[in-house]
Chains A and B, each alone.
Chain A
Amino acid sequence: MNRGTGAFVARRVGTLALAVLVALGVWVAVLAVFDVSPLIGKRPWDVFAYVVTDEGAAEHRAAIAADLAVTVKDAGIGYLVGLAAAFVLAVLFAVSPVLERIVMPTAMVLRSIPLVVLTPLITLIFGIGQTGVTAIVIIVVFLPALANILYGLRSVSGEHRDLVLAYGGSAWTVLRKVALPAAVPSTLASARIAVPSAVTGAMIAEWLSTGQGLGGAISRAAGSFGYDAMWASAITVAAVTMLAYAVVSIADSLVQERMGQLT
């Protein structure tokens, strides 16, 4: 960590803080403009009171934390497996273009099926439980990442490839020495973009199938007029997602900087 890196991270965090402030402003403004009843539309300070200063705040925090742990696990497993699978398959496709031409258009078709529509199908196949949730998150993470990483592997210039081949390297040497380093930026970008989609996938699966985690908690709270709990859960999941996104995105920039690709 040199000083440039520190300044870079500080600037990123500063921008994030500014954007969060603007978002809070929009939140308050929307509720005010549409004159939403304070019983339904909770303001930032209501949520703060619910989880920090209220009488039962400790219990509220404990309940949300327990649900959050489930959601993080649901999203996390699928996120890691989905990214790893996408990477392996992308490398396979880079070596065997025929396989790619058969699988990729099919993958594009699957990708265009809306997630909610997919959820009942997955539930039908895998049943209600961890497997189904993980399968949904994997699908959400996997398909865009596959397309992205493959694009990165393909971005190798002809001259670099020819050089390795001219010196007697095989297709595998090209992959190892040229294509894999070239795919680092797109792999990191996929890891970044996949964070919000993994959480969304996990929440939708929890909501429509298992009924556990924050996804389940929010729909239960909405059904039983527990608007405080609903807002607090929603803000929690949004904040955690944002934090995870920021961490991955800063790591992404630092790695690219080290590789000399940060402009």
Chain B
Amino acid sequence: MPLLARFRGALARPWVGGTVGIVLLLVLWWAMTANLENSTSFPSPVDVARSAVQDGWSYYGPNVTPTLGRAVQGYLWGNLAGLALAAVVLVVPRLEDVITQLGVISSCLPVVAIGPIVMVIFGGRAAAIFLGALLVFFTTLVGAILGMRSASRSSLDLVAAYGGGRWTQIRKVQLMSALPAIVTALQVAVPAALLGAVVGEYLGGIDSGIGVALNAAQRQIQPDRVWAMSILAGLISLAGYGLVGALGRLLTPWAKERRA
């Protein structure tokens, strides 16, 4: 069957397969909700889209912008801390086990538990930023350390054989092989930073943001808005994920073969 074969071939391209998946998901969603009369919990995609268009930028703008600002700050601080500790491991490899273990501890601190504590000590805005940073820290630290370790033994030996010192090894081999892994970690960190910022808003002490708007929409029983805002937040973090990935590919062209 040539038609089926061509269809299968087309699906091999990620864009086509992904689009088919999303469309299937939307159809499934629509089919599940089409027969529900006036559902208070499960609006159809059409209702959600209508609500999103009706509310428009005047509703989403003031709520999305502050959250984005805090997520970006948390993203920067968390990545900075993660990369700094990874750099310590790079220079003093003996510390790797302990520093990784510290990262594990930081990932075992549940945001729900840390949030109220940070909030009481530093206030609402700082709590949102801190939580974003905390969630970002571990993935970036582990990603960077794994990347450094992936440097091939023979490349390191080659540098040493040509009289290169430890510093040359770090610069020419380990950083080069760590960068692609760091880019991946920075990508994964995007949704994490947004998650931290939104959790921070749920804690209170902040008057506008995605979390605040979601909370309000939920209490006023506006499921259309809850769904529209949730999907928007997902799209934002997906866009961030794609943006960081594209920047990373531009900055680390030598990683192309490995990704393909």
Contacts and interface: CB of A to CB of B under 8 A. Distances in A.
Interface in A103-145: 103-106, 108-118, 120-121, 124-125
A103 B18 CA distance: 7
Contact of B214 (A22, A41, A117): A117
A234 interface: yes
Contacts of B210: 117
Contacts of B172: none
Nearest to B221: A124
Contacts of B230: 113, 117-118, 120-121
B37 interface: no
Contacts of A40: 120-121
Contacts of A151: none
B18 A106 contact: yes
Given A15-B97, A103-B21, A125-B42, A114 B237 contact: yes
A113 B237 contact: yes
**Residue among A19, A111, A221, A230 facing the most chain B CB atoms (10 A cut-off):** A19
Contacts of A215: 110, 112
A242 interface: yes
Interface in A24-76: 34, 36, 40-41
A102 B191 contact: no
Contacts of B12: 97, 101
A32 B138 CA distance: 24
Given A22-B98, A101-B11, A208-B202, A113 B191 contact: yes
B84 interface: no
Residue of A36, A113, A218 with most chain B CB atoms under a 10 A cut-off: A113
Interface stretch (A1-9, A153-161, A167-175, A199-207): A199-207
A165 interface: no
Contacts, number: 163
B208 to A, nearest CB: 16
Contacts of A124: 41-42, 223, 226
Nearest to B99: A19
B158 interface: no
B198 A117 contact: yes
Contacts of A245: 104, 108
A125 to B, nearest CB: 6
B220 interface: no
Interface string B199-241: 1001000000011001000100001001101110110011001
Contacts of A259: none
A95 to B, nearest CB: 15
Interface in B185-202: 190-191, 194-195, 198-199, 202
B243 interface: no
B140 to A, nearest CB: 15
Contacts of B238: 108-109, 112
Given A98-B11, A200-B111, A18 B101 contact: yes
Interface in B96-124: 97-98, 101-102, 104-105, 107-114, 116-117, 119-122
Nearest to A19: B101
B14 interface: yes
A23 interface: yes
A230 B230 CA distance: 29
Interface string A182-212: 0000000000000010011001101110000
Contacts of A203: 110-113
A101 B14 contact: yes
Contact of B229 (A18, A112, A117): A117
Interface in B12-40: 12, 14, 16-18, 20-22, 24-25
A114 B194 contact: yes
Nearest to B122: A34
A102 B229 contact: no
Nearest to A42: B117
29 contacts: A16-B101, A18-B101, A19-B98, A19-B102, A23-B102, A34-B122, A101-B11, A101-B16, A102-B11, A102-B20, A105-B22, A109-B238, A113-B231, A113-B234, A114-B191, A114-B195, A116-B211, A117-B210, A124-B223, A196-B104, A206-B112, A215-B110, A219-B112, A221-B116, A230-B116, A233-B113, A238-B110, A238-B113, A242-B105
Interface of B: 8, 11-12, 14, 16-18, 20-22, 24-25, 41-42, 97-98, 101-102, 104-105, 107-114, 116-117, 119-122, 190-191, 194-195, 198-199, 202, 210-211, 214, 218, 223, 226-227, 229-231, 233-234, 237-238, 241
